[in-house]
Amino acid sequence: MYDMEEYKHTATDRQAVAPVSVGKSGLSASPRTDVQPEGILHDCHKHLSSLASKRELKGSKRRRYARALLTRWYLLERLVNELSDSALPVVNTTWLSSGISDPQSRWETLSNLASGSPTDTPIPSILAAPVGYGLHRVNGSAFKLLAELLETVQVPRSQALAADLGNYLEASCGVPYTDVFENHRAVAGAVTCGLLYDIKRTPINSENRMFRRLADLLDVCDLLSLERTETLLRHVEEYLDDGWYRRARRLLKTSAADTATMPSVSKCVARLECADGSTTAAIEACQAALVLSPESSTLHTAIATPLAIQRRYREAAEHLQEVVRLEPDAAHVSVDSERLQSLNDTLSCSHLPGQMPEIMPDGMERDAGRFHPLKLSLACYLFRKHGTLLIKDVFDQSLIEACRVQFMQRYADYFGKRNHRDALQIGSRRFQIGVSLDGAFNDPGFYGNPYVLQIMHELIGRKVIIGSTVCATSLPGSRDQHMHKDHRALFTQDADDPPMDIPPVAVTTMIPLVPLDEQVGTTIVKKGSHRLSRKQSAELGEQVPLVSTGSCFLMDLALSHKGQGNKTDSVRPIINMVYQQHWFADNKNFKLHPPLHVPAEEYDKIPGRYKSLFSWADQPFARVNC
């Protein structure tokens, strides 16, 4: 291994290192020898491991960079080992203070120090180390220096920096630069060791300084990964998995031109473009590579994702079927192909005039408790386009039955002919009453259904709240309502004004407590009417959702709809739970009762992860009875 102290005394064919006079005062300092590469590697790895594991740094850039560096540590070890196995001259060096702002002055100071010449610049401490230590402080970047030194990577180079580097190395060694440094990797290893040594000495509370040095070291790792295509691709995949799209793109852009059409590279490009929302560019990249490699299962797999994101499910399924042909053992690909075909059927049916757009979780999604990302994306697309969506079989049947029993017992007096002050009459033998969030209704499976909430997070955002929970009840003998909108479109002055094209503000979740069929009646909707004025909506066709218990359907706040009459002898209760933006308040529909009623003792029972749904309880209208 590289023992710098021993090398300093035994190497007679190179410049010996002696104490250096510093400035005109005649002060001298003895060179330090505590900068052996092996020790620096060990100490810095230990330091980064500590940074990566500190809980108080959770979410910080320093912790994130430390974890990324630990996974790439083998690259640094390989480079530093080449330094240990070399015979670089040991010279006097130092860490230049930030007081020397001119880069040229920094180069001159280091050259004078390394060659033993006097210098007027104050030197805080002197190190005896292989030539190259401390150079990262000259330009503020070890990465820029390694870009000049590593001949195995094709990156833009600076002639001015190369000249300064050559002059320094010649002055340090006393012989022509090209004669001494046949292998520039050893000098690159020395530069890297200097940066590692600096990181080891940086206090953990110096956040900005530590971040800059960790970022520079990660840049060095990225540069080293360019030497081998398999390493490059592995690191690009890691960056994509961790959401570091800028670094992934830079690595791919810097990679050699002859790798651009490699299937594995095209796959990474496709992933990156999809992450940036450029699915068209991802498809084009894969198509160009498929021209050269039509039998590549990697490319057929890669192109399926952006095609599916664009809802071109049939084409995506065809590419996955090609993968199955090329690799008969790829069972998971066959499952994905079947899912895409199912999504294509769902999309095609939703466009039929009398068809209600609908989705339902499959077996794998039930096990996971959430929709697959592609189905979630389709569900949100269908709702944004049509303003309504039927979600089948997502509520527990026993929970819905418990809610029905509780409602029927609590409001039995409301099913007669007498009107009640807290019940809003919304048509012939039809009323709306606020539902208190207690008993069976105070269940996360009811207000925080994972499938419904997953869609709401996509449509409205993570800060979605429940704005109201009421029950629209149709009594036996009720007649059809007139077609109406619960609320005119936002930012319009009149019901006949065309709505603005804005994201959903409030979404009503209609949860029937009894099955909705032709006899008991349902709520007729006009898909697409949320994007039209009241007059324009009159020209649209109607859809009649027949909904079983355990299912629900969504309606945009501005969707045209009407309740059918009830032809049976049974009550038809439908819970209307509105998920909405936290800033929106419905001042139209709650004259007689509050939109949200949560008894204080029931509020305490709500799990913490769901309490944000009721965060507007301190504002007007919603009530928590404390």
d(CA 477, CA 565): 7
Q: Give pLDDT, residue 420.
A: 74
Q: Give pLDDT, residue 325.
A: 92
**pLDDT confidence tier of residue 3, bands split at 50, 70 and 90:** very low
* pLDDT greater at residue 42 or residue 133: 42
> How far apart, in Å, are the Cα atoms of 299 and each of 152, 261, 276, 334?
28, 10, 19, 16
| Structural domain includes residue 7 | no
Q: Give pLDDT, residue 18.
A: 38
d(CA 467, CA 589): 12
Is the whole model's pTM more than 0.95, yes or no? no
| Structural domain includes residue 378 | no
The pLDDT tens digits of the residues spanning 61-103 come to 888 899 999 999 999 999 988 877 666 767 666 655 544 556 6
d(CA 199, CA 151): 26
d(CA 520, CA 321): 45
Domain endpoint, select from 227, 246, 274: 227
Residues 254, 222, single domain; the answer is: no
Phi, psi dihedrals of residue 250, rounded to the nearest 5°? -65, -40
Angle at alpha carbon of residue 469, lines to 465 and 475, rounded to 5°: 160
Residues 548, 402, single domain; the answer is: yes
| Structural domain includes residue 385 | no
Domain endpoint, select from 194, 227, 260: 227
| Structural domain includes residue 392 | no
Which residues, listed in sequence order, are joined to residue 127 by a DSSP beta bridge? 32, 93
Q: Give pLDDT, residue 447.
A: 97
Residues 405, 265, single domain; the answer is: no
- How high does pLDDT run on average in the chain? 83
Residues 69, 215, single domain; the answer is: yes
Token output for 222: 């990225």
Residues 223, 236, single domain; the answer is: no
Residues 269, 212, single domain; the answer is: no
Phi, psi dihedrals of residue 525, rounded to the nearest 5°? -125, 165
The pLDDT tens digits of the residues spanning 592-621 come to 677 888 888 999 999 999 999 987 765 544
DSSP character at residue 60:
-
Measure the N-to-C terminal CA separation of the chain; round to a whole number of Å. 73
Domain endpoint, select from 227, 251, 283: 227
- Of the CA atoms within 13 Å of residue 153, those in its CB half-sphere come to 29
Residues 275, 198, single domain; the answer is: no
**Most confident segment among 40-49, 245-254, 405-414, 547-556:** 547-556
| Structural domain includes residue 167 | yes
pLDDT value at 320 more than 70: yes
DSSP character at residue 439:
G
Contact 128, 137 (CB under 8 A): no
What's the CATH code of the domain at 322? 1.25.40.10
Number of H helices, E strands in the chain: 24, 16
d(CA 95, CA 27): 18
Residues 402, 311, single domain; the answer is: no
Domain range for residue 161? 38-227
Phi, psi dihedrals of residue 551, rounded to the nearest 5°? -110, 170
| Structural domain includes residue 92 | yes
The pLDDT tens digits of the residues spanning 539-568 come to 899 999 999 999 999 999 999 999 999 999
The pLDDT tens digits of the residues spanning 153-189 come to 777 777 778 777 777 777 666 655 555 555 678 888 8
**Most confident segment among 224-238, 443-457, 481-495:** 443-457
Question: Per the structure, how many domains does the chain have?
Answer: 3
Contact 476, 428 (CB under 8 A): no
**pLDDT confidence tier of residue 267, bands split at 50, 70 and 90:** confident
Q: Give pLDDT, residue 311.
A: 97
Give the distance between the most distant pair of CA atoms in the chain.
112
Nearest CA-CA partner of 504 in 556, 454, 465, 462:
556
Residues 205, 249, single domain; the answer is: no
Which residues 6+ apart lie within 8 Å of 351 measured at CB? none
Q: What is the mean pLDDT of residues 126-145?
A: 78
Nearest CA-CA partner of 40 in 235, 145, 186, 191:
191
d(CA 201, CA 192): 14
Phi, psi dihedrals of residue 507, rounded to the nearest 5°? -125, 125
Residues 49, 155, single domain; the answer is: yes
Q: In residues, how long is the chain? A: 626
Nearest CA-CA partner of 197 in 134, 139, 252, 257:
134
Nearest CA-CA partner of 536 in 507, 504, 495:
495
Residues 221, 245, single domain; the answer is: no
Q: Give pLDDT, residue 202.
A: 83
Which residues, listed in sequence order, are joined to residue 554 by a DSSP beta bridge? 389, 509
Residues 161, 257, single domain; the answer is: no
| Structural domain includes residue 205 | yes
| Structural domain includes residue 434 | yes
Point out the least confidently predicted range of 126-130, 498-502, 522-526.
126-130
What's the CATH code of the domain at 567? 2.60.120.620
**pLDDT confidence tier of residue 138, bands split at 50, 70 and 90:** confident
Strand 424-427 to 430-434 pairing:
antiparallel
* pLDDT greater at residue 46 or residue 169: 46
How many other C-beta atoms lie within 10 A of the C-beta of residue 600? Answer: 10
